A and B are shown apart, each in its own frame.
Chain A
Amino acid sequence: MTPDAAFHHRVASAVRDERVIRAVHLATLHKVQARAAGMAALRNYERIRALAAQIKQHTLENLADYLQQLVSNLQQRGATVHVASDAAAARDIICGIARRSGARLAVKAKSMTSEEIHLNEALQTAGVTTVETDLGEFIVQLDHDRPSHIVTPIIHKDRRQIAEAMQRELGCAYTQDPRELTAIARRHLRGVFARCDLGITGVNFAVAESGTLCICTNEGNGRMTVTRPRVHVALMGIEKVIPRLGDLPVFLKLLARSSTGQPMTVYTTLVTGPRRAGELDGPDELHVVLMDNGRSTLVGGRFAEVLRCIRCGACLNACPVYRNIGGHAYGGVYPGPIGSLVSPLLHGLDGREALPRASSLCGACRVACPVNIDIPSLLVRLRTASRDSRPLSKRIAMRLWQCVLESPALYTVAQWLLRRLLRDSGDGWSQRLPGSVGGWTTTRDVPIPRESFRNRWRRMLENAHEPD
Chain B
Amino acid sequence: LNVALFVTCLTDTFFPRVGEAVVRVLRHFGCTVEFPAAQTCCGQPAFNSGFHREAAVLARRMIDVFAPYECIVTPSASCAAMIQHHFAELLADDPSAHREARRLAERTFEFTTFLTQRLGVDIARRLAFRGPVTFHFPCHSRGAYGPEQLAAWCAGESPAQLRRPAHADLCCGFGGMFSIEFPEISGPMLADRLNDLAATGATTIVCNEAGCTLSLAGGAHRRGLPLRFVHVAECLAESLGLMEPAT
Contact = CB atoms under 8 A, between A and B. Distances in A.
A444 B190 contact: yes
Contacts of B186: 360, 439, 443
Contacts of A454: 7, 12, 35, 37
Contact of A360 (B12, B28, B142, B173): B173
B209 to A, nearest CB: 12
Contact of B50 (A364, A385, A401, A444): A385
Nearest to A367: B142
B219 A462 contact: no
Contact of A439 (B12, B46, B49, B180): B180
Interface residues of B, number: 71
B28 A468 contact: yes
A233 B44 CA distance: 48
Interface string B12-25: 11111011100100
A402 interface: yes
B169 A457 contact: no
A399 B20 CA distance: 31
Tell me what chain B mostly uses at the interface: helix, strand, loop, or mixed: helix
Contacts, number: 199
B50 A360 contact: no
B124 interface: no
A99 interface: no
B71 interface: no
Given A324-B189, A406-B57, A444-B219, A362 B32 contact: no
Interface string B167-179: 1011101111111
Interface string A395-430: 100110110111010010001001000000000010
| Range of interface residues on A (Cβ < 8 Å) | 35 or more
Contacts of B192: 25, 320, 323-324
Contact of A445 (B177, B189, B222): B222
A467 B2 CA distance: 11
Nearest to A458: B37
Contacts of A250: none
A359 interface: yes
A42 interface: no
Q: Pick the 7 closest A-B CB pairs, nearest first.
A: A360-B175, A383-B50, A444-B218, A443-B187, A362-B171, A453-B19, A362-B139
Given A439-B179, A447-B14, A452-B13, 4 more contacts: A360-B171, A387-B50, A405-B58, A457-B19
Interface of B: 7, 9, 11-16, 18-20, 23, 27-28, 30-33, 35, 37-41, 43, 45-52, 54, 57-58, 61, 139-140, 142, 167, 169-171, 173-192, 214-215, 217-219, 221-222
